[in-house]
Amino acid sequence: MKKIQNYINGQFLSALSKNYKNNSSPITGKIYSKFPDSDHEDIDKAVMAAKKAFPKWKSLGKKGRYNLLMSLADMLDENFDKFVEAESYDNGKPEWIARSVDIPRVSENFRFFATASLHFSSECHEMDGKAFNYTIREPIGVAGCISPWNLPIYLLTWKIAPALAAGNTVVAKPSEITPMTAYLFSKIVHKSNIPKGVINIVHGLGEKAGEALTKHPDVPVISFTGGSNTGKKININCASLFKKLSLELGGKNPSIIFNDANFNEALNISLKSAFSNQGQICLCGSRIFVQSKIYNKFKTAFVEKTKKLTVGNPKNKVDLGAIVSKAHMNKIINYIQLAQDEGGTILTGGNRIRFEGDLREGYFIEPTVIENLDYKCIVNQEEIFGPVVTIMPFENEDDVIKMANATKYGLSASIFTSNVSKAHRMSSKINSGIIWINSWMMRDLRIPFGGMKDSGIGREGGFNSLRFFTETKNICVKI
């Protein structure tokens, strides 16, 4: 059985405790590898290595770091197919999604931020001939990067790349649920010319290794993507040490379809936003609001299309693969039962799927659509993070704004209308960090990414990421 190892100071190591945890594939439900059960001692070792490597990495300068990161990106592309297969088997997503979405972003993250760092400019302020101020941005030191299980290597490199490009060294803690591609990444880093200690990857449980990283006094900056409850704990850990903190957390995102929307466009995009990656994307549209005039027509068409979605072996061209873990599958099923207890009607789906053969113990759920729930009910308030959507009618703009803003989350929203004025008017009133008009998941790496309310703190993406991973220093020169 394959044993995943930590990567610390250019070496592959087991946890100091020598303990390991089992890692299963959600496709088969069977254990196929083990990862180190790391704790604070392993984090200490990794932080020490990163701290020691920091001065040399910083002194390389932007161009020196650029050259090394671009070379690393090329090496990652050379291992593209290995990443695709590993991500699908470890996470459960269809291979075609890993091939078209996740893995292309791995090398792109490094190329984008390495290039962006060369164009990261400073400011100068002249004081009427008396003095001038110039502002520089300096790397902070050791950056702690904690990534989730839904887009494992995609989001791990989304954090590591800007941290390194800005001149920091990194201690990363990937999700313990999907550790494999982070391990493959470390093996490629080992073969690269990145100096030892610059990138360190420590595997383990969030409550042990992750918490130790957020509490470490020599890690002044933390970037975390994951659940809002975990984000609250990290916020508490970081507050007393005045750490710089970025939290990209959960979402309960509305898809709003007006009577005047392009019907087929709204239908197809809403379907994609509901069930992509088994609904396990923080940006998925899990609450669908449809204006009353077209509600029945839209509902009928949406349910018909949902019934045609295929679920199965991720190696095949299926629409949905496996749910990431048994515990998460059971959580989703419990929410579906809760929806019925709250008076909801299951229009389609709602059940675990049992296949024959190797997939018999896999974690598969039918894509599920639920009607007749109050917008304030638990199922419409809490993040399910699975292939489950609710659908509700609304009468007018004020009506849907009230319902859309009724949750504690504020990550994203999609608005479908042919009226440009209405689109702008609605966008200004929806409390979300990202608004898509007649679209969903159109991502530009330059834009600020993040949410409002319980969906997070701060913004990453483009120069926002480079600003986050640097400290501002103003220097005043008297003339």
State whether residue 13 is helix, strand or coil: strand
Pick the catalytic residue: 87, 95, 108, 248? 248
Cβ-proximal residues to 357 (8 Å cutoff; 6+ apart), any chain: none
CB-count burial class (<10 Å; 0-12, 13-18, 19+) for 103: buried
Q: End-to-end alpha-carbon separation of the chain, Å?
A: 69
Tell me, yes or no, if 377 is annotated catalytic. Answer: no
Tell me, yes or no, if 248 is annotated catalytic. Answer: yes
Transcribe 168-192 into DSSP letters. Answer: -EEEEE--TTS-HHHHHHHHHHHHS
Task: Retrieve residue 83's tokens.
Answer: 């990443």
Distance in angstroms (rounded) separating the CA atoms of residues 358 and 105: 30
For residue 461, give Cα distances in angstroms to 138, 229, 380, 464: 18, 23, 29, 5
Cα-to-chain-centroid distance, residue 34:
23
Nearest Cα to 380, choosing from 426, 342, 333, 420? 342
Distance in angstroms (rounded) separating the CA atoms of residues 185 and 176: 15
Distance in angstroms (rounded) separating the CA atoms of residues 430 and 422: 12
Task: Retrieve residue 128's tokens.
Answer: 């009427």
Cβ-proximal residues to 260 (8 Å cutoff; 6+ apart), any chain: 417, 418, 419, 422
Percentages (nearest 5) of helix, strand, coil residues in the chain: 40, 25, 35
Using alpha carbons only, what angle is made at residue 80 by residues 284 and 171, rounded to the nearest 5 degrees?
70
Pick the catalytic residue: 211, 282, 383, 460? 282
Q: Which residues are catalytic?
A: 248, 282
